[in-house]
Amino acid sequence: MSEHSETATLGIHVLAKPIGPVCDIKCDYCFYLEKRALFASDEPYRMPDAVLAKYIEQYVEAQPTPVVEFVWHGGEPTLLGVDFFRRVVELQAPYRARKEIRNTLQTNALSLDDEWCAFFKANDFFIGVSLDGPQDIHDRYRKDRHGVGTFERVMAGVRLLQKHQVEFNALACVGRDTAYRPLDVYRFFKDAGIHYIQFTPIVERMPAPAMQTLGLWLASPATLDREEPNTEVTPWTVEPEKYGDFLIAIYEEWVRKDVGTTFVMNFEWALTVWVGEPSPVCIFSKTCGRAVAMEHDGSVFACDHYVYPEYKLGNVLVDNLGEMVERSVASGFGPHKETTLPRYCRECEVKEACWGGCPKHRFATTPDGEPGLHYLCAGYKKFFRHIRKYLRAMGTLIENDLPVSYVMQAIDAPLIVTGRKPGGG
């Protein structure tokens, strides 16, 4: 598994795993490799053509929006070979007259070569590359099956994407050690010519005994409505406040030098909410339910974070995808995120930006003893409080139809808006 990607909240969003949990490397923090335990030992982890065709048809038909975005995730989807994705494009073709169809593929970049990159370019694929930062940081957690760091091979893939002018972003996981090196990480990306970056904090708990008997080596999601007996996190889990400090240090540099030229998705999401739009990501939305995961055999689960037997919604071969999603939205899973929010969150000054975070990681307890608080609360709160002054300035610029990048000039002086941009509305 390359890493988890967060998905938006409008329409239906499916994270497809055409090769299931199979990957050619073994990152310390991966939460998806263990899912092999949920399938038979002789499972052929390759999405059959019948499932692929049915999925593409169902996803296009069920999507209420004019754009249908296919997200190919894993495991490592490139292990299926380029021909698998040629078939994807072929099966999507008849629907292009009715809908705008986009493809995003998340990869560890190890298999990329000229053929892959030419294919991506020709078919307008957007690529997410799992890259955590400079070599010593990346290789700390992202290793091959022999324990050897993958940095150099990933960078070879990045250079090929750049050579072929394929659009991509870096998905950087923030593990415990990484959080101590914010500017090393951020400047590395800029120096490498990577201007679209998304940070994902690593949070996993050690498993309870019941999970270990299933063959799973990480804890299942938090229950939210009762105190978690197990709050021991893995050694690579980021420390809550350190995660906030990490984002703040990068934000401070970005807001002085790079607004409009480097795009850190975490910062863009916060601005989107500040100007009154719904959060583009589920983790900071009020409810869950619209971002489902589909395994290679067509099984649909409530979410990429909830691929457990009890969260299975059905299978695209026999069930209707739209109905499965609606069931998930209407059932306990969708609204649970909001209805179980502890009072500490409901009264929080940054609630609108956070909404308690992803329920999977709400295994902490509030200062007054209520369960269901996000493990990263201290970091989230610190970050969202810190950036409010900048968001306020950017909001004013947007209201006055001025470029957000003007905020860089207002860092050390009050922002005085004297007029609109020439030609502005």
Q: Which residues are catalytic?
A: 304
- Residue 32 or 189 having the CB closest to ligand SF4: 32
Contacts of 422 (CB under 8 A, 6+ apart): none
Q: With binding defined as CB under 6 A, does residue 359 bind ligand SF4?
A: yes
Does 380 help bind ligand SF4 (rule: CB under 6 A)?
yes
* Helix, strand, or coil (residue 3): coil
With respect to ligand SF4, which residue has the nearer C-beta, 88 or 303? 303
* Choices 42-50, 134-142, 280-288, 398-406; region in contact with ligand SF4 by CB under 6 A: 280-288
> How far is Cα 59 from Cα 38, in angstroms, rounded to an integer?
25
Compare residues 109 and 345 and give the one whose CB is closer to ligand SF4.
Answer: 345
Q: Is 56 in the site for ligand SF4 (CB under 6 A)?
A: no
Decide if 128 contacts 72 (C-beta within 8 A): no
CB 242 within 8 A of CB 174: no
Query: What is each CA distance from 312 to 53, 57, 189, 308, in whole angstroms?
Result: 21, 20, 38, 7
Rounded to 5 degrees, φ, ψ at 264 are: -100, 115
Please tell me whether residue 52 binds ligand SF4 under the rule CB under 6 A: no
Q: How far is the CB of 242 from ligand SF4 (least distance, A)?
A: 15
The structure tokens 């269901």 sit at 372
Segment 197 to 236, residues that bind ligand SF4, using CB under 6 A? none
Contact 129, 195 (CB under 8 A): no
DSSP 369-423: S-EEE-TTHHHHHHHHHHHHHHHHHHHHHHHTT--GGGGGGGSSS-----SPPTT
What are the φ/ψ torsions at residue 172 (nearest 5 degrees)? -105, 120
Q: How many CB atoms lie within 10 A of CB 53?
A: 15
- Count residues binding ligand SF4 (CB under 6 A): 22
CA angle 256, 262, 268 (to 5 degrees): 90
Q: Which of 25, 194, 282, 307 binds ligand SF4 (CB under 6 A)?
A: 282
Stretch that binds ligand SF4, among 59-67, 121-129, 143-151, 377-385 (CB under 6 A): 377-385
| 161 vs 303 by CB, closer to ligand SF4 | 303
* Piece of 56-64, 165-173, 281-289, 413-421 that binds ligand SF4 (CB under 6 A): 281-289
Q: Which is nearer to ligand SF4, 46 or 360 (CB)?
A: 360
In whole angstroms, how close is the CB of 310 to ligand SF4 at the nearest point?
A: 14
Distance CA 112, CA 115 (A): 8
Q: What is the DSSP code (8-state) at residue 360?
A: G
| Alpha carbon separation from 286 to 102, 145, 278, 386 (Å, rounded) | 26, 39, 9, 22
Site for ligand SF4 in 285-314 (CB under 6 A): 288, 291, 303, 305
Q: Look up tokens 């009050």; give the residue.
A: 414
For ligand SF4, the closer of residues 344 and 406 by Cβ is 344
The answer to whether the CB of 126 falls within 8 A of the CB of 70 is: no
Q: Is the distance from CB of 112 to CB of 154 less than 8 angstroms?
A: no
Residue with smaller CB distance to ligand SF4, 131 or 358 = 358
Q: Give the nearest distance from C-beta 305 to ligand SF4 in angstroms.
A: 4
User: Contact between 251 and ligand SF4 (CB under 6 A)?
Assistant: no
Closest CA to 33 of 218, 174, 211: 218
The CA dihedral of 308, 311, 315, 318, to the nearest 10 degrees, is 140
Minimal distance, residue 106 CB to ligand SF4, in Å? 15
Q: Does 374 interact with ligand SF4 (rule: CB under 6 A)?
A: yes
Per CB under 6 A, 22 contacts ligand SF4: no
For residue 103, the minimal CB distance to ligand SF4 (Å) is 21
Tell me the HSE value of 330 on the side-chain side, using a 13 A CA sphere. 6
What's the min distance (Å) between Cβ of 188 and ligand SF4?
27
Which residues between 318 and 357 bind ligand SF4 (CB under 6 A)?
337, 344-345, 348, 350-351, 354, 356-357
To the nearest whole angstrom, how small is the minimum distance from the Cβ of residue 286 to ligand SF4? 10
What's the min distance (Å) between Cβ of 128 and ligand SF4?
A: 16
- Going from the C-alpha of 27 to that of each of 76, 105, 205, the distances in angstroms are 12, 19, 16
Rank residues 54 and 360 by Cβ distance to ligand SF4 and give the closer one: 360
Which residues contribute to the site for ligand SF4 (CB under 6 A)?
282-283, 288, 291, 303, 305, 337, 344-345, 348, 350-351, 354, 356-360, 374, 377, 380-381
